[in-house]
Structure 1
Amino acid sequence: MAQDLLVAERLEARIAERLPQLLLDVRDRLLTGWPDYAAFLDEDLEEIRDGAGLFLHRLMVLATSGLNDGARPLEDEQAVQVVFQQIGGRQWELGHDLTRLLTAYQVGARVAWRHVAECASAMDLPGDLIAGLAESVFDFVNHLSQASTQGYVQAQRADARARDRQRADLVDLLLSERSTMSAVRAAADRARWRLPARVALLLGDDEGELLSRLDASTLPVRQGDLAGAIIADPIDRERLARTLRGVRCVIGLTVPVELAARSVELAQIAFGLARDGVLGGCPVFVDDHLDTIIVHRDDRLLAFLRDQVLAPLEGLPVGARERLTDTLVWWLRHQGDRTAVAQELHVHPQTVSYRVNRLRELFGDALDSPRERSRLLLALNWS
């Protein structure tokens, strides 16, 4: 064992003499396919040389003690781990693909092994020690690759969390009546979201399903009872309908981005009506149902109006009142066409005539008044 340590120390000293050339060789090898990493070597050569010295010492410890003998970690190994985690994180920040970095590590490992092998051969070392050295080189590089991968993923997750927070702040501003466009633009820049000319608010039950069908240009909305997304420039309505087919959701009015907050109330009313079955369709487009939304904007007022205009039917048995109400609805919709009303109600036209005469007895001249007919239609047609 003492002899092995002595040999390892001599080998370490010999390779240490070659470290500057080794690093230059690695840099030259990276120039063709990885010029940015070659530049990194040039800029941080001293720091990398220190790390390479630690790598070399660790290599000798592993080679002499055996990979599976539980060699004790070096005191500075954690520092190297952190450095390579930072390198991985930096690759994410620069927008580089992680595979390029890991491939560059393998290139560096092959160059390093060539130098190690040359030194070992010149010293006429035994084959088992050379084999241990080879395994140690690539095992250590794998550890460094894992550290950089961990740093890359951590930076990716941190960036995603930061972006989510920034986008949530942007949504708060977009949906606030008190925000200014200068504040919105600044928040959009921070969130790296291209500010569109027009937007629409999408609301639905299943936020996860909605977002899975939309692209990255949408902003998730999670505000109190609101769950959905803000859609940028929703020009292609047919494509949007296909994308969201089968999902219970409401697509609000398309408005200039500075008016996004004003579209919230209508979208919420429409979503409530869709949930109650008043509005049909998956998805529901608010601009197709503005009349219904206007009527139902305040259910209390609609109920008061309905009670008022249907007062002549008070006192009738429930069944008779319902039949006359249904007849009145279709009579108003078909502008007095008794044949069409009969088809809608699946009754004989004479039955319709009887019911209409009964309605005239109860409502009197109101059925011939344009204003009263409008009030009746408003109260009944959207209920």
Structure 2
Amino acid sequence: MPNALHASASSEQLGPIPRELATIMWPELPALLDEIKTEVVRAYPEFAEVFAGPHGRFVHAAIEQSLTIFVDQVVRPSVPSPLRDEMIRTFGRFAASRGGSLDTLRGTFRVGARVALRHTKKLGKRYNLSPVFMLSFADTLFAYMDQLEALASEGYLQARSSAEDNQDELRRKILRLIASGSGTPRATLVELAERAGWQLPEELTLVALSAGAHPARTALHGDVLMDLGDPQPYLLVPGALHAERQASLVQALGGARAAAGPTVGPAGAADSLR
């Protein structure tokens, strides 16, 4: 075994991981990959469906690429890894598209780091690696996982931002279709509403706003649709404008004028707005 891995704890200093580690790690990667997948599923059971589903091969490949690059960088620390970077960002985007939380996404990398460290500790005993070497390895490993976590978070947040933009645009489209009285089939509105994360109500109330009004979105319930880009801005409030709705609307308007039409079914929205 190379001397770099057997230096005594008294003489060895924390620093770069010895390149000889790659010789030890390469044969261990397949088993380590399987162990990481097992532990991720144990910690987050919803990933069992991911690994077994149509995207399982991609997720497997992303983990494999991450492990391979880690060992590669032990040998050649300056080697760039654009393929790994994009795969991990894509994994983050995939997690966002499934509706998973950012905490869960980050947690999977922490699980991976713990498993990799545990696996390497076993190797340490097998090859009699020094305690100081293991400390250096742990520092390097967790720094690497921090890089992966940052890349995945970047992809996740990009996807969420894009999805929110798309949903906002879909909601504005639904509002215009309903308010125009164009006779859009209900089935079409229901389909668009599902894509926008909104539920088409049986009854609704249109509220006309004074020109230039900018109601505070945070003061309104999330199911209120609005189009402030129209020269004559307006809101759509699902259901009747009861006391709670009125109070939140007054707060959101901050003194701007508004007029509520009668509560009607979706087909009568244009009349309510007029």
TM-score (normalizing by structure 2) = 0.80
Question: Structure 2 vs 1, CA of residues 137 and 123 (structure 1 numbering), >3 Å: closer, same or farther?
Answer: same
Matched, 1:221 2:227: yes
Query: 8 Å contact 1:210–1:228 — kept in the other structure?
Result: no
Deviations 1:277-306 (A, max 9, x none): xxxxxxxxxxxxxxxxxxxxxxxxxxxxxx
Residue range with higher mean Cα deviation, 128-137 or 205-214: 205-214
* Cα drift, residue 22 of structure 1: 1.4
Correspondence 1:176-187 to 2 at 5 A: 176-182=180-186, 183-187=188-192
Question: Structure 2 vs 1, CA of residues 257 and 84 (structure 1 numbering), >3 Å: closer, same or farther?
Answer: same
Report percent identity of matched pairs: 21
Relative contact order, higher structure (CA 8 A, sep 6+):
2
Instruction: Letter of the 2:28 partner, please give it.
Output: R
Query: 8 Å contact 2:204–2:236 — kept in the other structure?
Result: yes
Distance 2:126 2:72 in 1: 19
* Cα drift, residue 138 of structure 1: 0.3
Query: 8 Å contact 2:208–2:235 — kept in the other structure?
Result: yes
Equivalence for 2:266: 257
Residue range with higher mean Cα deviation, 9-18 or 156-165: 9-18
* Cα drift, residue 114 of structure 1: 1.8
Q: Say which SS state the counterpart of residue 201 (structure 1) adopts.
A: strand
Matched, 1:22 2:26: no
Question: Structure 2 vs 1, CA of residues 46 and 147 (structure 1 numbering), >3 Å: closer, same or farther?
Answer: closer
Instruction: Letter of the 1:257 partner, please give it.
Output: P
Correspondence 1:230-245 to 2 at 5 A: 230-234=236-240, 237-245=242-250
Q: Say which SS state the counterpart of residue 167 (structure 1) adopts.
A: helix
* Cα drift, residue 223 of structure 1: 4.5
Q: Say which SS state the counterpart of residue 253 (structure 1) adopts.
A: strand
The one of 24, 39, 63 equivalent to 1:48 is: 63
Equivalence for 1:147: 151
Distance 1:23 1:127 in 2: 24
Question: Structure 2 vs 1, CA of residues 48 and 104 (structure 1 numbering), >3 Å: closer, same or farther?
Answer: closer
* Cα drift, residue 41 of structure 1: 5.0
Q: Say which SS state the counterpart of residue 192 (structure 1) adopts.
A: coil
More helix by share: 1
Instruction: Letter of the 1:13 partner, please give it.
Output: T
Q: Say which SS state the counterpart of residue 180 (structure 2) adopts.
A: coil
TM-score (normalizing by structure 1) = 0.59
* Cα drift, residue 108 of structure 1: 1.2
Query: 8 Å contact 1:197–1:257 — kept in the other structure?
Result: yes
* Cα drift, residue 16 of structure 1: 1.6
The one of 181, 185, 193 equivalent to 1:188 is: 193
Equivalence for 1:79: 83
Instruction: Letter of the 2:64 partner, please give it.
Output: R
Deviations 1:121-164 (A, max 9, x none): 54444555433221110001011111111111101100011111
Distance 2:205 2:104 in 1: 40
Instruction: Letter of the 1:263 partner, please give it.
Output: S
Question: Structure 2 vs 1, CA of residues 86 and 208 (structure 1 numbering), >3 Å: closer, same or farther?
Answer: farther
Query: 8 Å contact 1:11–1:120 — kept in the other structure?
Result: no
* Alignment root-mean-square deviation, CA: 2.7
Query: 8 Å contact 1:15–1:115 — kept in the other structure?
Result: no
* Cα drift, residue 18 of structure 1: 1.4
Instruction: Letter of the 1:168 partner, please give it.
Output: R
Correspondence 1:267-278 to 2 at 5 A: none
Ranges in structure 1 where 5+ consecutive residues have no aligned partner:
63-70, 266-383
Equivalence for 2:120: 116
Equivalences, count: 251
Residue range with higher mean Cα deviation, 240-249 or 171-180: 240-249
Question: Structure 2 vs 1, CA of residues 232 and 39 (structure 1 numbering), >3 Å: closer, same or farther?
Answer: closer
Instruction: Letter of the 2:157 partner, please give it.
Output: V
